[in-house]
């Protein structure tokens, strides 16, 4: 059965409703026609030139991303502008783009739940509550048995596929209660929330120097799992969800994962 873009959007909305996204966010259909018949979907973390070229080469007529590539109002669309050129290229190739961002971070089985499960956390609760749903931003959980910060850091390395991570704290500290926020969650209010919840360590991305100082002063260990690596883990979950929907509803769509490595920051 042929599938329109709007039907794919409805499936994604069932997974992570756009109504629960943060107020500053820009989620949903970013580029394209809701009535476009979709045959092949590319799932990626970001929209960039490499991902657009990949979609064209793989004959994908829809891209689903975590990060929206348009946040602020656009005054013009010009080929000389980076995003303008991308919009033109997407429209010329009749490719729809849909983004599920903070709503996917908040949603059940979204980015934070996925990371918590990979860490084998138990008694999972929200780091921040959300008035619109029972889930919230970030997660807190308990390890079955206490381990050192050094051991936990190695576990995180294995999960995100990185050889090196930035850590703040004593590697011999014992860890039992963990707070996480995938992506960028290193602001002072996030750190203070993890402390108020009695967490031994907070795992997030984009940790800045002065925020790490605050965490140290408050006695909270930090692990920077990087913005990209802590969120790219959600892509196979999206792919699996859409493929299961396709089988269950007898939809004529194929969903593939992007092979573009979007990790632009590396420790060597």
- Report the SS3 class of residue 229: helix
Judge if 115 and 160 occupy the same domain. Answer: yes
**Among 88, 130, 123, 83, which residue's Cα sits nearest to residue 106?**
130
Closest C-alpha to 207, from 179, 235, 229, 188: 188
Residue 115 lies in a domain: yes
Question: CA-CA distance, 200 to 50, in Å (whole number)?
Answer: 39
Judge if 214 and 195 occupy the same domain: yes
Q: Is 28 helix (H, G, I), strand (E, B) or coil?
A: strand
The answer on 245 and 181 residing in a single domain is no
Are both 139 and 188 inside the same structural domain? Answer: yes
Shortest CA distance to 236 belongs to which of 221, 258, 208?
A: 258
CATH number of 196's domain: 3.40.1390.30
Same domain, 96 and 145: no
Which long-range contacts does 23-29 make (Cβ < 8 Å, 24+ apart)? Answer: 24/71, 25/68, 25/71, 25/101, 25/102, 25/103, 26/68, 26/70, 26/71, 26/99, 26/101, 27/68, 27/99, 27/100, 27/101, 27/102, 27/103, 28/98, 28/99, 29/5, 29/96, 29/97, 29/98
The total of structural domains in the chain comes to: 2
Give yes or no for a contact between 117 and 234, defined as CB atoms under 8 angstroms apart.
Answer: no
**What letters, b where the CB count within 10 A reaches 16 and e where it falls short, cover 157-196?**
bebbebeebebbbeeeeebebbbbbbbbbbeeebbebbbe
Identify whether 266 is part of a domain: no
Does some domain include residue 34? yes
Residue 165 domain boundaries: 108-225
pLDDT tens track, the chain, 268 positions: 679 999 999 999 999 999 999 999 999 999 999 999 999 999 999 999 999 999 999 999 999 999 999 988 899 999 999 999 999 999 999 999 999 999 999 999 999 999 999 999 999 999 999 888 889 999 999 999 999 999 999 999 999 999 999 999 999 999 999 999 999 999 999 999 999 999 999 999 999 999 999 999 999 999 999 999 999 999 999 999 999 999 899 898 999 999 998 888 776 6
Structure-token match 């690596």, residue found: 229
- 116, part of any domain: yes
Do residues 103 and 21 make contact, with C-beta atoms less than 8 angstroms apart? yes
Query: What are the distances in angstroms from CA 189 to CA 68, 181, 204, 211?
Result: 24, 12, 13, 10
3-class SS of residue 130: strand
> Is the domain of 195 the same as that of 122?
yes
Beta strands, E only, 127-180: 139-148, 166-168, 174-180
For the entire predicted model, the pTM comes to 0.95
**Is 236 found in the same domain as 220?**
no
What pLDDT score does 7 carry?
96
Task: Give the model's pLDDT for residue 26.
Answer: 96
63 in any annotated domain: yes
239 lies in some domain = yes
């Amino acid at each position: 059965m042929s599938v329109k873009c709007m039907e794919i959007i409805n499936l994604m909305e069932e997974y992570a409703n756009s109504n629960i996204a943060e107020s500053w966010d820009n989620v949903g259909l970013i580029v394209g026609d809701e009535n476009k018949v979709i045959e092949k979907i590319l799932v990626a973390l970001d929209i960039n030139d490499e991902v657009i070229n990949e979609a064209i080469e793989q004959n994908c007529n829809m891209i689903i991303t975590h990060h929206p590539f348009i946040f602020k109002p656009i005054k013009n669309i010009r080929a000389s502008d980076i995003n303008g050129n991308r919009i033109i290229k997407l429209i010329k190739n009749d490719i729809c783009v849909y983004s599920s961002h903070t709503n996917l971070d908040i949603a059940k089985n979204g980015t934070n739940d996925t990371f918590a499960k990979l860490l084998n956390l138990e008694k999972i609760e929200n780091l921040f509550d959300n008035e619109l749903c029972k889930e919230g931003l970030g997660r807190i959980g308990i390890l079955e048995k206490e381990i050192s910060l050094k051991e936990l850091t190695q576990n995180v390395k294995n999960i995100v596929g990185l050889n090196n991570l930035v850590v703040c704290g004593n590697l011999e500290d014992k860890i039992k209660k963990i707070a996480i926020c995938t992506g960028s969650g290193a602001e002072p209010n996030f750190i203070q929330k993890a402390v108020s919840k009695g967490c031994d360590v907070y795992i997030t991305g984009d940790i800045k120097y002065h925020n790490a100082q605050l965490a140290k002063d408050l006695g909270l260990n930090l692990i920077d799992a990087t913005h990209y690596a802590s969120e790219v883990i959600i892509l196979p979950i999206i792919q699996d969800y859409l493929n299961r929907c396709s089988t269950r509803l007898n939809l004529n769509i194929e969903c593939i994962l992007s092979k573009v490595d979007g990790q632009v920051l590396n420790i060597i």
